[in-house]
Amino acid sequence: MAPIAVGDVLPDGTLSYFDAEDKLQQVSVHSLAAGKKVVIFGVPGAFTPTCSLKHVPGFIEKADELKSKGVDEIICISVNDPFVMKAWANTYPDKKDVKFLADGSATYTHALGLELDLGEKGLGTRSRRFALLVEDLKVKAANVESGGEFTVSSADDILKAL
């Protein structure tokens, strides 16, 4: 399947998270994105160096600026289970504007065409690093990294697209 691209309609899918009462919830991507301007960024793995030290902190730090430009939701997706995503989210005290959602079986990542086979490194199927700007389910920017790079999918790159 070709990777998601500008002009494509965002596919629907179900992702998981723990709510404020620590109950496991499932949410459809379309319920978060329909009629809204959203940023969806994906990372290869929770607690990994680039993801934890650069990618996620950038979106947390730039959340107010993104929201001032009309972004309604900032969503982080990783091919990890919801327990890992909750523990990872809790390492960021200022995370209130970023939703951490789990794609445990990489089903949604496959629907986006953004899966990355890291089986040789013992990591299985993961997500390529990416950032999407989506308006009412239509992709306006699709910044997808090659390999392990972090050159086009930062919060600053999305701000340039707004």
Q: Which residues are tagged catalytic?
A: 51
Helix runs in the chain, H state only:
29-33, 49-50, 56-61, 63-68, 82-89, 107-112, 155-161
Question: Which CA distances in Å does 2 have to 11, 15, 51, 110, 112?
Answer: 13, 21, 24, 10, 8
Contacts of 48 (CB under 8 A, 6+ apart): none
Cα distance between residue 110 and residue 125, in whole Å: 10
Sequence-separated (6 or more) residues with CB below 8 Å from residue 68: none
Number of residues in the chain:
162
